[in-house]
Amino acid sequence: MSDQEKPSYAKGLEGVIAGETSISKVDGEAGQLYYRGYPIAELAENKSYEEVVYLLINGELPDTEQSILFSAKMRNARDLSEPILQMIRNFPRGSHPMELLQSVIAYLSAYVEHRIHHGPHCNCRDTLHQVAQLASVIAAYHRISQGLEYVPPRRNLSHGANFLYMLRGEEPSPEEGRIMDTALVLHADHSFNASTFTARVIASTQSTCYSSISGAIGALYGSLHGGANEKVVDMVEEIGSASAVEPWLDHALASGRKIMGMGHRVYRAKDPRAVIMEGFLEKLSEQTGDRHYYDILKALETSMARRMAEKGKPIYPNVDFFSGAIYRLLGIPKGLFTPIFAMSRAAGWLAHILEQRVDNRLYRPKALYTGPEPRHIT
């Protein structure tokens, strides 16, 4: 085979275009993110998570009537059946909630009448269990694991506010509910990341959306994909105070340690979601009177920016840099950070699964063989 005939190779599919999508666009150079053409900042400011879910899976923002009907459909799908609650109660103590989520999604599939058409399909736009019930499962898991009673969902609260209500057993303030709902908007999709690509690969086999989302949850569970905001909070707690940032950073950089929440595989500017999250963290810090996280993170961002600029290697915060601190101020334990990522991203996963089905082609990349040449047993 000549050099011209050899297929191109990029480890980890770095820079390889593996498909087309009209769902979200990441402009890494400009530091912009768009859902269906809408800037993320505009959506975060003006639209609820439910409206953004509609946008992602249907292609356009809902009008007033569509928004009312769709919100009602999502809210009516929040309730957990007794078999699901029993599964949560019986799940092994000490297991990670991501393992529970992956199992629950597969279990939910057994309660849905799948439509067989060139493979098992369900009417994903009508059920919405995959999106609506993940929040209920996470909240139920937390309360049951803490020896508390399950709190049924309420239909008069936004998706984010209802999650906090089910988690804490008391209604959040309007501002807390809005911040939580907007955090879900910011995490709802991000083009062909590892978990989304996993969902599309599974969908390309004509498997169900439940199987595809279960696989995506498994990908997100990996430490190189989900969990970064949890590590940021660990880092902040290790630093201890804003005055300790400089000596801590001296030691961390000298030892080659990765600074969690800084830098991104795609963005070459400040993550637009981080800009919004920073504003929320500042507001929550003022309202709660607890500036511990905010002061340390801002000192860390400033010091890193100065040091990296001196080296000609600018680096900026990503969405994980501020999100974990926000969740902590909302009373959410660190172990739920990645599950919250999943419950938000389920909307994007579902949108990509539906898009994959429109003009499907089974994913079947080639592998570069590096084993021994043909040989025989002697």
- Hey, which residues are catalytic here? 264, 320
User: What whole-number distance in Å separates Cα of residue 200 and Cα of residue 359?
Assistant: 12
For 25-34, give one letter per residue: b (16+ CB within 10 A) or e. ebeeeebbbb
C-alpha closest to that of 216 among 303, 137, 329, 106: 106
Distances (CA, A) of 171 to 79, 142, 215, 310, 333: 17, 17, 33, 48, 18
Burial of residue 220 (CB within 10 Å: 0-12, 13-18, 19+) is: buried
Distances (CA, A) of 17 to 21, 76, 365: 11, 39, 12
User: What whole-number distance in Å separates Cα of residue 97 and Cα of residue 91?
Assistant: 9
User: What whole-number distance in Å separates Cα of residue 335 and Cα of residue 230?
Assistant: 8
